Structure 1
Amino acid sequence: MGSLKELEVVLPDDVPAELPEVDLVEAEQEAASSPRARAFLTWSKRIAIAGWVVLAGLVIWGIQSGVLSSVSQLRAFLSDFGPAAPVIYSLIGASEAIFPVVPGSASIIAAPILFGPVVGFFAAYAATCLGSIAVFFLSRDVGQELLLARFKPATVERYLGWLEHRHFTRWFAIAIALPVAPDDLLCYLAGLSKMRPRTFIIIILLLKPWALLLYVFGVLALLERWIPWLAG
């Protein structure tokens, strides 16, 4: 998941002139008056705070116990849990798309470090696909007010008009295959579009692995190149 500015390179120059203007002020007022949007924000903040407390506790425990002294020690600890460890990771990673505690890219980057390249890739793939699909259906169920509650107004204003573009599905598919795309925002937008659920799921399942492969092997290459002592 990259910056929003980087995503702009895949968008054609002539599109903005075709897009309708979005009355963002009216949309924000609608979101602010939505009980479901307010409930989402409330629970999102509560879960984020609880997540940070739990994460801080785990880091302190890991340092004191020696589990975090190296990658090999951490992997050995996780291996004691068997298949349950990557499954739990995938579920937690998927929930990050809805209730972010840490940036989604951080959880994806952690997968190959925690489980190695093969298991790490499939754990990250499962987390990304589950989270994206959950966001799509949540956005479709709650509506535009959820998008406004989740992202900054300037971000929404920049991208909301794309929902009316006739090639939205095509550009969504291209962006999803790129490692720099803001996945969560794109999936929220897709939930508000006319895209069929089956089309969305196929795009996610078939195109997301390529960006994840770059993440997984890129992280391992950087780890080996710059901090090889950590892997020992």
Structure 2
Amino acid sequence: MKLVSAPAGLRLALATLFLCVPMAAVEVVIAVSAPWWRLPWVSMAAAAVAAFCAWLVVLGLAMRTHRWTVPVVSGFTVIWFASTALYAFSTRNSGLSFFSALILMFAAASAFWIRRELDRSFLDPELRWYQGLPRPIGGLSCVLFAGDKQHPCRVSRLDSEGAFIYSDLKGDAGITEFLGEPKKVQLRFGFRGCDFQCSGFPIALLAQGFGAGFQFRDLSPDHRKDLGDFIELLRGEGYVQ
């Protein structure tokens, strides 16, 4: 799956993770106990470049909403923390010991944040590798339209933040026709005689083009209340958690 537009929460999480680059340089200074007027610039640059390369790997995975994003962050965290902690123990560097604990807390918080962002309804259709299509919410229909164009869809996820919709036929890439200009499209949801319509901004697109995630933005208070009532109706039927 690829991102059509990176949501603000995911961008902020990845930008925060970028702090690992200066942290790697600071770690070198603490490890060698260097004074500020004689800093090991070459070693600091090498550590920063290594951290930057690791960040680029995570960035590339996150931009494709890959399920390996969080495990890769966790793997880098274990390697970084273990190597720092072992070096601190062998050199009896108390400052580096505290810094290794800071690394662990920072990376763990970043991994949790990124996982939370990638689990958003408009980013995760809950489509497993052995499934041909996402599992639909029973009885819930959706019509995607912009201007004179309309496209009936099914819904795999829906909450107050957005929805993930897809075509019944895996080879049907008709949803991609709605991802150009204008960026905002209309979605009309229907469930047992109750309808709800709102604007959605395309966020993610399945690789085959038969499904996409849409984020709800700029809803008025009354419109958001109507959305909440519609979701409560689904929740009462056991279709939405």
- TM-score using structure 2 length: 0.28
TM-score by length of 1: 0.28
- Give the number of the structure whose residues are more often strand, by fraction: 2
Larger RCO (CA under 8 A, 6+ residues apart): 1
Greater C-alpha Rg: 2
User: Larger helix proportion, structure 1 or 2?
Assistant: 1
